Structure 1
């Protein structure tokens, strides 16, 4: 089984700790022999958020034997993380572990030198502090998470869940990750490059008519939808729709539509043998050339490279 070790010490944040525990200690959404085995690693009983007492399963030295190490958020970013925690996280990475920080856990990774020369993110409130304290780190405060291969970082709270689900997608493919997300009643996939301030694709139920418009659009991504189409469905003028749309989703209608088309393309590339031309038609991109251009700019790789990466992780 794949061992996921959560590194803990006095001063960790309870939310990120509980999030990692809930996700990686869960029952697999489909029967698998290669699911996760989670352990909590710390030197002594620790207090999360200064009030919740936690008894670790094993010492910090066990991090070096893990496949993946999760570092939850760090409460007091003005204080240097404990040296034994920093040393153990560095040793785990040197031993070949994949290391991921949730929210301000990035300060622990930075102290360990794991972010030197890399792009990284953290909660936007603390991005400037991370930049000032660790100038060799390229801090991007405008994304949800960043995957640098063996080192991953995420922004705050909900983005930490996005990163954990991204790890599941890397390990087991989108079908398993999406099933797990549905079990947790969360959005199955928000790309890491999405802005930290972007809200969920479907607005709150108090604005139900607008939510219905977005659901209607998602069901018709193979069609050449326009802002006028969305405005007509919402019984609004295109200008009025644009104002409401940005307020509800953090994006313009065209940006939102493109994001949904890219997500659908990712799903089809991972789960079908359809050609790039067929995927382009099914996502409303029109031509393979158009899909390749938008996909490369948004995801960072070509559709074919993306398929080769994730098809190797597909559920049998």
Structure 2
């Protein structure tokens, strides 16, 4: 074999070895990258279902307004009898009538604009409409009342921007008139949020000694009765809010979408009524948002 031929063969062998090493390195690098990606995909933050207390609430950034006329409704089915007079001024705590042996009182001072006629009425039937002589702010409490029950008594606090506070609401009442006019008279604006199936807007009535003007900005927080020893999860782990939702529960090395029945929320945590048990582990991010979690 002559030298030139040998040199050609040597160069060819060297080139083949270099190519093989390069391909092996690339393959190794790609495998490592793929493995890292797979591992990252499986690395999902989780939280555990635990028992704890929660104070359900609804909050809103809203505007100060002149308080709307509101209604007092029947707390239960029964015979309604009025002891008040239309057009009279009632003081907070005054008894205006009865349902069976239950007394109907007004939470704030105000003028009684309408009174329904004595009758056998259903629960939540509007009985009186009251005009409060002060300011208020509205909060959409649909989710809160849907999960807590429409008969839930709410309290609240408000803060007017660049003013003193926070201050307790004088009362939390429905937004608008719901009571029918007595003696065949019509009540202006009787179509209200209370009658709307989709929305329940509540008014935080401001104490009359609070300096406030219509149009000012305010933040209002309404709270319901605290619930103790409930199963809870962070709201970020749950898809859905009104009554039902879904979570990604860890089952071994994988995640399974699980439907859950939801209760009240405080904006940070939410009550799990059914679908999970204490100690279950779920993705910290709601389904459809967590990498590696099934939806």
TM-score normalised over the length of structure 2 = 0.26
Report which structure shows greater RCO (CA 8 Å, sep ≥6): 2
Structure with more helix by fraction: 1
Structure with more strand by fraction: 2
TM-score normalised over the length of structure 1 = 0.25
Query: Which structure is larger by alpha-carbon Rg, 1 or 2?
Result: 2
